Amino acid sequence: MGMLTRLRVRLASKLLPLLRAEIWRIGQVGLELPTVYLDRVAIATIAAPVVSDDLCVAHPELHQFTAVLAAPKREDLDAHFCEVLAYPEILEIDIRLGRPMCDGKAYREDAEGGKAALRAGQPERNCRHGIRESWCAICRRQEEERKRAAATVIDLFDLVFPILQPPLGDDFDNPIAFLPSQQLYGFQREGVKFLVENDRALLADEMGLGKSIQTIVALRILFRTGKVRNCLVVCPKSVLTDWERKFWDWAPELNRLVRVSGPAGHREVLWKTEAYVYLVTYETLREDLSCTVRKGDNAEDVARRQFDAVVLDEIQKIKNPSAQITQAARTIDAKIRWGLSGTPMENRTDELVSVFDVLKPGLLHYGDPVYKIKNEIKRYMRRRRKKEALPDLPEKVYHEVWLELSASQRAAYERAKEEGVVELNKKGDALTVTHVLQLINKLKQICNLDPREEESCKLEYLKDELDKMSEQEEKAIVFSQYPEKTLARIESDLRDFGPMRYHGQLSQNERDRVVQDFRNDGSKKVLLMSVQAGGTGLTLVEANNVFHYDLWWNPAVAVQAEDRTHRIGQRKTVFVNYLRTVDTIEERIRNLLAAKRQLFDEVIDELSDTDLRTSLSEEELYALLDLKHPNRKGKGVDRNKEPAAFFDSMSPTEFERLAADLYEAMGYHVRLTSASKDGGIDLYAKRVTDTGQTLLAVQCKHYPARKVGVQTARELYGVMQTQPDITQGVIVTSGQFSTECRDFSKGKRIELVDSSRFAGLCMKHGVAAGKRQKTETDDRNRS
């Protein structure tokens, strides 16, 4: 008995790691022993399990008997163990991998016609103007406006769009990167590489060697490598449109291009529009940075000043260090700065110092000796002369220059077009191709020169080019089909260049004298020539610059003209410049002819001597002026009626409604005023674009039998003074305007729309009377 009382029963020899907590309960002890009782319960405690880095449960560190309990009652054991045992905390570890967000963009531009379709050689549809979609200037302009309206922000995926483009090729020879007609000469490829490799550079090639094209291709590379996200191009006004056009041709993926021009309010919006490229003139830049330039002005600068790259075309314009345009150029902050100029230094080395003060501040100093200047600028400047580039250059270099009509030219052009179309439509079935060609001729003449104001965008460009050429001691010939209406009228403006005119009215002796003087007299820099009088035998190799002032129907005529200079005896490359105006009949014809010519080149000789007027169908000719073929019935205004007669049958209210319909068709939101009139205004027409808001205040004067007098214009002007948000006043009449009314309205933002013009606009936009009745009530309620 004494021995049993001291018996110890060992229940376990060791504890093993358990996957889960377990409670062992001692059940009945099968011992036939008298009076067995629990003496003590010792609970082994172990450390809580720890999840190690390799997801294994570590062996507990402690293994000790720490708790000795008094003998509990059997039925309390479970509860007792629950209280004292430390359960490990179970961690919840989420091991799922979540799906990431996807971002991105579909780029549609190239896929939907445009240059890409031309490059792919895919057949392209005709637009509603009867011209291939990619060639139609009106469709393109509308598309650009639509894109610009949608593109107020460049997002991340727009930013990488240039980077995602295919490579240009090691030698810029990737056929899909450039159009087939676009080839870079060897010296140009070298020029592009020079620009790409130099953040600060002056490209000083002689004029005509393609500085702007080299710059655009270099920019294309920088955009594609992500080094540049935006760029400012500053240039003279005469080449603004040409730059825009060249970007379109040579870098189509840089399709967010903003031309900063127009009224100050518009420019402020344009500077804030996100774009790859900003185009601006020196004068506009100076104005929009006027605060910084003038110093002390409390107004804020309108222009932005921070860009990744800035290009200054004709950089010699900032040769004067104290000029405001120079100061404005200096404020631009860009890590890449390129200057372009055929004549970076005209008179003194200080001019070069001023130029480099913008390109590379601190490189040169005023008063530096010539040898030092030469040495310092060597690595930043590249200059090739035509004779050096000659091995690469062909005998003839063609250059198409695109210009924007001046304001007065545009007004004259639109007026002539609308009135002309009305007249043509009146002819009905008697309309012939000859009538159409007559109007086309008239419009082409206006593209050359506004007959009333004598303004000409082509003349401005020509003067700039002649200026550069005369510094290089070169001569030019200017060809036009209109010796009296164009050449005679521009002659006096070119007097600084000793112009001579060669035309059919001259006697043979006079013609010979003109030719001799032009050949031998160095002060005679330009010859104005009518091709009809030029003859086929004339040799004028003294000139190596040719300007085609207007568009030829027959390509062979242009070639014949150029061949006055391009023949035996010519030692220089001949540079042929075609002067064109955007958004005019010239652009439409040119595009149509280019499309036709492309077809000819595939089938017939390149020098096919075919007058393409005969190869254009009647429908195509009519489509140039948005005319319907006489056999087709049109909608809207009855063409057979005189415009005034058409309006005769209308009541004043119907006339107002027609005007409202017209402005709605032109994209305006229109509000007719109440019957009691709103200061004499019959309707307000509002249009919001990315450049701002346009609000027109329109007075409708249904006066088929009399003229609208000056009093009406005065009243309208008075209302405009009290409502500064009115952008322009318009007076629409079913009759005509008095001379006093026209004179008063000039320069006062008042547009006069007479019966012919109104009828023409209605026809153009397919607006007919009687459409508006059901909306009139709503509009009147809103007014």
Partner 1 sequence: MHEKHEHRNKMVGFLHLLLTEAKDGFLSALLVTDIRGIPQEFRCTRPVKPTAIQQKLYGDKLKPYIAVNLCGVPLVESLENSPAAILVREKLLLGVRPFVEFPVIYVEKSGEAIEIQSVGLSNGGLRLKIESPGGRFQPVSCETHPDFHEDGETISDVLKEISENLDPLEPFGRILSAVKVIGQKDDRFV
**Cα separation values, 25 from 70, 198, 266, 310, Å:** 16, 86, 90, 87
d(CA 113, CA 119): 10
Three-state SS at 647: helix
Q: Do 134 and 126 form a contact (C-beta atoms < 8 A)?
A: no
Query: CB within 8 A of 565, min separation 6: which ones?
Result: 477, 540, 541, 543, 544, 546, 574
Candidate ranges 159-167, 258-266, 639-647, 771-779; the one touching partner 1 (CB under 8 A): 159-167
- Residue 226 in contact with partner 1, rule: CB under 8 A: yes
86 binds partner 1 (CB under 8 A): no
| Residue whose C-alpha is closest to residue 165's, from 276, 243, 245 | 276
Q: What span, in angstroms and rounded, lies between the C-alpha atoms of 173 and 213?
A: 15
Least gap, CB of 277 to partner 1 (angstroms): 18
Residue 281 β-bridge partners: 235
CB of 224 to partner 1, least distance (A): 8
Task: For Cα atoms 574, 579, 581, give the angle at the middle one, nearest 5 degrees.
Answer: 160
Contact with partner 1 (CB under 8 A) among 58, 62, 128, 175: 175
**Minimum distance from residue 164 beta carbon to partner 1 (Å):** 4
Site membership for partner 1, residue 73 (CB under 8 A): no
Among 1, 11, 55, 70, binds partner 1 (CB under 8 A): 55
CA distance 626 to 414: 13
Nearer to partner 1, 9 or 93 (CB): 93
d(CA 499, CA 528): 7
Asked if 97 is part of the footprint of partner 1 (rule: CB under 8 A), the reply reads: yes
What is the closest distance, in whole angstroms, from the C-beta atom of residue 218 to partner 1 in the complex? Answer: 18
**Does 150 interact with partner 1 (rule: CB under 8 A)?**
no
Min dist CB 564 to partner 1, Å, is 42
Q: Kindly tell me which residue out of 31, 57, 120, 149 binds partner 1, with binding defined by CB under 8 A.
A: 120
Give me the least distance between CB of 98 and partner 1, in Å please: 8
The answer to the question of residue 167 lying near partner 1 (CB under 8 A) is yes
Out of 156, 370, 568, 603, the residue judged to bind partner 1 by CB under 8 A? 156
Residue 251 CB, nearest distance to partner 1 (Å)?
A: 13
By the rule CB under 8 A, 107 interacts with partner 1: yes
Picking from 40, 150, 157, 60, the residue whose alpha carbon sits closest to that of residue 102 is 157
Letter for the amino acid at 70?
Answer: A
712 to 751: interface string for partner 1, x by CB under 8 A: ----------------------------------------
Residue 698, SS3 per DSSP: strand
Token pair belonging to 663:
């402005």
DSSP letter at 487? I
Q: Rule CB under 8 A: choose which of 59, 63, 74, 105 binds partner 1.
A: 105
Beta strand 683-689 pairing with 692-701 = antiparallel
324-331 vs 349-359: helix axis angle to the nearest 10? 30
Tokens of 541: 């190799």
Structure tokens at 466: 């002649």
Which backbone phi and psi does 745 adopt, to 5 degrees? Answer: -75, -20
CA distance 709 to 144: 40
Q: Which is nearer to partner 1, 110 or 144 (CB)?
A: 110
Point out which span in 12-20, 116-124, 411-419, 619-627 binds partner 1 (CB under 8 A).
116-124
Distance of closest approach, residue 105 Cβ to partner 1, in angstroms: 6
Round to whole Å and give the CA distance between 201 and 335.
12
Angle at 416 between CA 410 and CA 420, to 5 degrees: 145
Pick between residue 2 and residue 98 the one whose CB is nearest to partner 1: 98
- Choice from 38, 69, 116, 710 touching partner 1 (CB under 8 A): 116
Backbone angles phi, psi at 242, to 5 degrees: -65, -40
The stretch near partner 1 (CB under 8 A) out of 110-118, 124-132, 498-506, 651-659 is 110-118
From the list 100-108, 276-284, 370-378, 385-393, the region that binds partner 1 by CB under 8 A is: 100-108
Contacts of 592 (CB under 8 A, 6+ apart): 131, 135, 616, 620, 624
Cβ closer to partner 1: 27 or 100? 100
Binding piece for partner 1, criterion CB under 8 A, among 104-112, 400-408, 466-474, 581-589:
104-112
Q: In the set 38, 88, 110, 709, which binds partner 1 (CB under 8 A)?
A: 110
Show the DSSP H helices in 163-210 as ranges: 186-197
How far apart are the C-alpha atoms of 414 and 585, rounded to whole Å?
11
* Contact flag: residue 102 with partner 1 (CB under 8 A): yes
Q: What is the DSSP code string of 144-156?
A: HHHHHHH-SS--H
**Taking the complex as a whole, how short is the minimal distance between the CB of residue 529 and partner 1, in angstroms?**
44
Locus of tokens 């020899």: 13
Q: Which stretch binds partner 1 (CB under 8 A): 93-101, 295-303, 505-513, 620-628?
A: 93-101
Residue 580 DSSP SS3:
strand
Q: Check if the beta carbon of residue 264 is closer than 8 Å to that of residue 303.
A: no
Of 114-122, 492-500, 508-516, 684-692: span binding partner 1 (CB under 8 A): 114-122
Residue 156 C-beta: closest distance to partner 1, Å: 6
User: Smaller CB distance to partner 1: residue 173 or 512?
Assistant: 173
Q: Which of residues 24-53 bind partner 1 (CB under 8 A)?
A: 53
Q: How far is CA 19 from CA 56, 241, 664, in A?
A: 11, 81, 81
Nearer to partner 1, 160 or 719 (CB): 160
Cross-strand bridge partners of residue 577: 399, 547
Q: Based on CB atoms, which residue is closest to partner 1, 173 or 609? A: 173
157 forms part of the interface with partner 1 (CB under 8 A): yes
CB-nearer residue toward partner 1: 53 or 197? 53
Binding flag, residue 161, partner 1 (CB under 8 A):
yes
225 counts as binding partner 1 under rule CB under 8 A: yes
CB of 97 to partner 1, least distance (A): 6
Does residue 58 interact with partner 1 by CB under 8 A?
A: no
Apex 539 CA angle, 533 and 545, nearest 5: 90
User: Among the candidate windows 109-117, 434-442, 603-611, 743-751, which touches partner 1 by CB under 8 A?
Assistant: 109-117
Chain-centroid distance of CA 683 in Å reads: 33
The correct pick among 31, 149, 163, 768 for binding partner 1 (CB under 8 A) is 163
Tell me which of 54, 83, 197, 300 binds partner 1, using CB under 8 A: 54
Does position 111 interact with partner 1 (CB under 8 A)? The reply is yes
User: Using alpha carbons only, what angle is made at residue 631 by residues 627 and 633, rounded to the nearest 5 degrees?
Assistant: 75
Q: Taking a C-beta distance cutoff of 8 angstroms, is the pair 703, 712 a contact?
A: no
Residue 696, H or E segment: strand 692-701
Residue with Cβ nearer partner 1 (104 or 747): 104
Cα 674 to Cα 94, 151, 223, 730, 783: the distances in Å are: 69, 37, 55, 18, 6
Nearer to partner 1, 29 or 164 (CB): 164
Stretch that binds partner 1, among 34-42, 78-86, 108-116, 650-658 (CB under 8 A): 108-116
- In the beta sheet, which residues pair with residue 683? 672, 698
Binding of partner 1 at residue 170 (CB under 8 A)? no
User: Is 103 near partner 1 (CB under 8 A)?
Assistant: yes
> What is the Cα–Cα distance from 339 to 318, expressed in whole angstroms?
10
Site mask for partner 1 (CB under 8 A), range 194-223, x = bound? ------------------------------
**Number of Cβ atoms within 10 Å of the Cβ of 722:** 8
- Minimum distance between the CB of residue 274 and partner 1, rounded to whole angstroms? 13
Which residues make up the interface to partner 1 (CB under 8 A)? 53-55, 93, 95, 97-108, 110-111, 116, 119-120, 156-157, 159-161, 163-167, 175-176, 225-226
